[in-house]
Amino acid sequence: MLKFLGYKVTEMSFRINSEAQNEKNFQINPKIRFDLKKDPQSLVVAVNVTIDKSQPTPVPFELNLNLVGSFQAEGEMNIEEMRIQASSMIFPYVRAAVTNITTNANLPAYYLPVIDFGAPASAAPKKSGSVIIRPLEDI
């Protein structure tokens, strides 16, 4: 079991994309990366969400969000179990932060897609708009 100790936003940037003002249909492919750092009794998960102009179609905004969550390991768990539990616990906070940013910019709320964290990390897609989960050396 993991005990969630809290999170903090370490970086946040947002910019309206004026080039997309006349667009009506948007296809936003966020890049979401989870970095994990494990000590004997703790786990730190850093999540980065990026939405930028490198999309195939114009997007209404550019966004970069870094959020770091801390967890305490209670009992024996392998790294895969920790990855699944920690990622699934921290991701709702990431989704809420992105939604709040877009809503506070007076845009229609944008919700990050739901992620199935039960899938093996190696099964994560490697294309644009993918979710990447990897070990982290330094946060």
Q: Residue 128: pLDDT band by 50, 70, 90 thresholds?
A: very low
CB–CB of 90/125 below 8 Å? Answer: no
With residue 74 as reference, give the H or E element that holds it.
none
Residue ranges of domains in the chain, CATH in brackets = 2-106 (3.10.420.10)
138 has pLDDT over 80: no
Amino acid 54: pLDDT: 83
Is the entire prediction scored with pTM above 0.85? Answer: no
Residue that has been written with the tokens 């969400």 in this structure: 49
| Model confidence pLDDT, tens digit, residues 3-42 | 999 999 999 999 998 887 777 777 889 999 999 998 877 8
Q: What is the rounded radius of gyration, in angstroms, for the C-alpha atoms of the chain?
A: 16
69 against 77, higher pLDDT:
69
